[in-house]
Chains A and B, each alone.
Chain A
């Protein structure tokens, strides 16, 4: 009996079927979901697909005994606000989990406040606490450049950076770190922290959405909330996007979400004021162009 077990163990894998591995890992589902649920972002999707196939091939090579060092998976997402960095990070965590590179696949989202303490000796335990929570999953550090404040030499951010770097290097199997933020500020951050740059294998840029993509996003959002546009309101939305984009504090998809939330508010008001007698579902879910055109954006104001 014992011999049988031993023989089985010593059986050496000599062939792998990538297509089968791909199907079995469920990565295809996530990539398809990425394609369907996210509009635009073509360069991002391509990069993720490339990364996914690299990791899949790496796993296959490992099976054949060709690699034994685990690849560096830390990433940096740079792009303007509202370009879907967090959404993609969440998908990434799931992807890495399916591929077997992280054990749990949860995403822990933090900013400077969660890592850096307020007095001496506060930072290290705080950072370590966050890192421990993220182990087995993905740590997403939003606006990572705020960790480093060169203007204040006694800033505790440096301490958090040192601990981060140490854990990123020593516990590579335990967690994946994704840094995110505006492109120019991230570049500056990496310049002043070369240790970070070299420890991050994948730099992914998130481009801004075009007007058409934003309109498409608006439609998806509206549909997911069980509302609908008609021809006029769609036109109004397109005009809204055009004007809003030129205004300050434009945050891509997030601005669109806020605009839709406000349109829903006006729609509810309109429906409530105009309704007499029973009304149907279609009336309740219709967003008219007046709901959008009442926005301050059309009269030269700014929607926050």
Chain B
């Protein structure tokens, strides 16, 4: 099951050229772009690991694409996303975030239903891949 989240979740995966253009848009708006990765695709997992520092003072998107490729070399089988952070309002504000790398196989999510008081049902989802410990989920 293809995991989608973020700004362009409804679009097919971007090529490097398209990523470059989106990132350039962010930079031109004065947003700090950073790269994050994770092997836990649960939608509530909001804090991913950071790849290096947010890139504050690179005027050109080539730097981000370069770092992305470095990140792919190490975490090629993980989810990698690019986020653009806008500091101008004075509070934490992610303007844009999109997935740029995903595992070749995505087993999807397990849906479990629990009957609670008054025959209400509580739903929860768990990624199948999370059965394995962190670091060995995707090959």
Q: Verify that A and B bind, or say they do not.
A: yes
- Cβ-neighbour of A136 out of B55, B57, B60, B67 (below 8 A): B60
Interface size bracket, B side: 10 to 19
B59 touches A174 (CB 8 A): no
B46-73 CB mask vs A (1 if < 8 Å, else 0) is 0000000001011111110011000000
Instruction: Choose one: B55, B57, B60, B66; the contact of A103 (CB below 8 Å).
Output: B60
Alpha-carbon separation in the docked complex, A173 to B65 (Å): 13
CB distance from A107 to the nearest CB of B (A): 11
Asked if A104 and B66 make an inter-chain contact with CB atoms under 8 angstroms apart, the answer reads no
Cβ of A106 under 8 Å from chain B: yes
Which residues of chain A are near B59, meaning CB under 8 Å?
A: 104, 106, 133, 136-137
Most buried by A among B58, B61, B63, B67: B63
Would you call A263 an interface residue if the criterion is a C-beta within 8 Å of the partner chain's C-beta atoms? no
Q: Report whether B62 and A171 are in contact in the complex, using a CB–CB cutoff of 8 Å.
A: yes
Taken residue by residue from 115 to 135, chain B's Cβ proximity to chain A (1 for < 8 Å, 0 otherwise) reads as: 000000000000000000000
Which residue of chain A has its CB nearest to the CB of B55?
A: A132
From 129 to 145 in chain A, residues with beta carbon under 8 angstroms from any chain B beta carbon are: 131-133, 135-137
The residue from A103, A132, A174 contacting B67, defined by CB atoms under 8 A apart: A132
Interface of A is mostly: loop
Q: Judge whether B58 and A174 touch: CB under 8 Å.
A: no
CB neighbours (8 Å) of A174 from chain B are 60, 62, 66
Answer whether residue A75 sits at the interface, using C-beta atoms and an 8 A cutoff: no
Cα–Cα distance between A19 and B131 once the two chains are bound (Å): 67
Give the number of residues in A that approach B within 8 Å (Cβ atoms). Answer: 13
For the complex, give the distance between the alpha carbons of A173 and B61 in Å.
12
B58 and A171: CB pair below 8 A? no
A175 to B61, CA, bound (A): 12
Residues of A near B62 (CB, < 8 A) are 103, 135-136, 171, 173-175
Interchain CB contact (< 8 A) of A137 among B60, B61, B66: B60
A205 and B93 CA atoms in complex are apart in Å by: 50
- Give Cα A131–Cα B65 distance, bound, in whole angstroms: 13
CA distance A198 to B39 in the complex (A): 43
Considering only residues 18-55 of chain B, those with a C-beta below 8 Å from chain A are 55
Which residues in window 64-95 of B have CB below 8 A to A? Answer: 66-67
Chain B nearest CB, measured from A37 CB (Å): 25
* In the complex, chain A residues whose CB is within 8 Å of the CB of B66: 132, 135, 171, 174
User: Min CB distance, B25 to chain A, in Å?
Assistant: 13
CB-nearest residue of chain A relative to B52? A125
Residues of chain B touching chain A, judged by Cβ–Cβ distance below 8 Å, are: 55, 57-63, 66-67
Q: Known pairs A104-B59, A104-B60, A133-B57. 10 more at Cβ < 8 A?
A: A132-B58, A133-B58, A136-B59, A136-B60, A136-B61, A136-B62, A136-B63, A137-B60, A171-B66, A174-B62
- Minimum-distance CB pairs A-B, first 10: A136-B60, A132-B63, A174-B62, A135-B62, A135-B60, A135-B63, A104-B59, A132-B58, A104-B60, A133-B58
Q: List 29 A-B contacts (CB under 8 A).
A: A103-B60, A104-B59, A104-B60, A106-B59, A131-B63, A132-B55, A132-B63, A132-B67, A133-B57, A133-B58, A133-B59, A133-B63, A135-B58, A135-B60, A135-B62, A135-B63, A135-B66, A136-B59, A136-B60, A136-B61, A136-B62, A136-B63, A137-B59, A137-B60, A173-B62, A174-B60, A174-B62, A174-B66, A175-B62
